[in-house]
């Protein structure tokens, strides 16, 4: 399973705080982004982090919790659907993508992992085919 962490956004809803909400320590001693990184299991594939150039320094500062990762920086705001399409092309055609927004608080990790496992099993039974002309 390929974790894809969405870590963009301007954080304008938390004005006057200066950083986007995923870089604030709201529920623990870790930021929401760092909690998302720490949630990754060792048997997952190398994670891909999708973020904006505006968040580059904040993202790079917190990636020390991972040994390996890929980061995709967007120059302009293009929307989540387009980002996911681009990331799907970067993944192997047989990989299952685990999309993880970095702005959620997850209290029950056992339930989270069980849900991810169940979703992975369901995804393995699903085939999507797109014919692009």
Measure the CA–CA gap between 51 and 81, rounded to whole angstroms.
Answer: 14
Query: At 33, is the secondary structure helix, strand, or coil?
Result: helix
Q: What is the pLDDT of residues 6-48, one digit of tens each?
A: 987 765 665 555 677 788 787 888 888 888 998 888 788 888 9
The CATH homologous superfamily of the domain defined by 2-124: Spore Coat Polysaccharide Biosynthesis Protein SpsA; Chain A (3.90.550.10)
CA-closest candidate to residue 116, choices 130, 103, 101, 97: 97
Q: What is the pTM of this model?
A: 0.81
In residues, how long is the chain? 133
Domain ranges of the chain: 2-124
Q: What is the pLDDT of residues 70-125, one digit of tens each?
A: 888 887 788 888 888 888 888 888 888 999 998 888 889 999 999 999 999 998 88
DSSP 13: G
Largest CA distance in the chain: 49
């Amino acid at each position: 399973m390929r974790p894809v962490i969405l870590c963009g956004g301007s954080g304008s809803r938390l004005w006057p705080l200066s950083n986007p909400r995923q870089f604030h320590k709201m529920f623990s001693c870790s930021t929401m982004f760092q909690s998302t990184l720490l949630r990754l299991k060792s048997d997952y594939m190398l994670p891909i982090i999708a973020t904006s150039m505006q968040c580059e320094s904040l993202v790079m500062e917190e990636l020390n919790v991972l040994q390996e990762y890929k980061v995709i920086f967007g120059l302009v705001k293009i929307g989540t659907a387009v980002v996911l399409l681009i990331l799907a092309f970067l993944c192997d055609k047989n990989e299952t993508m685990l999309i993880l927004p970095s702005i959620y608080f997850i209290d029950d990790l056992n339930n989270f992992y069980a849900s991810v496992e169940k979703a992975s099993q369901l995804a393995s039974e699903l085939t999507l085919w797109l014919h692009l002309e």
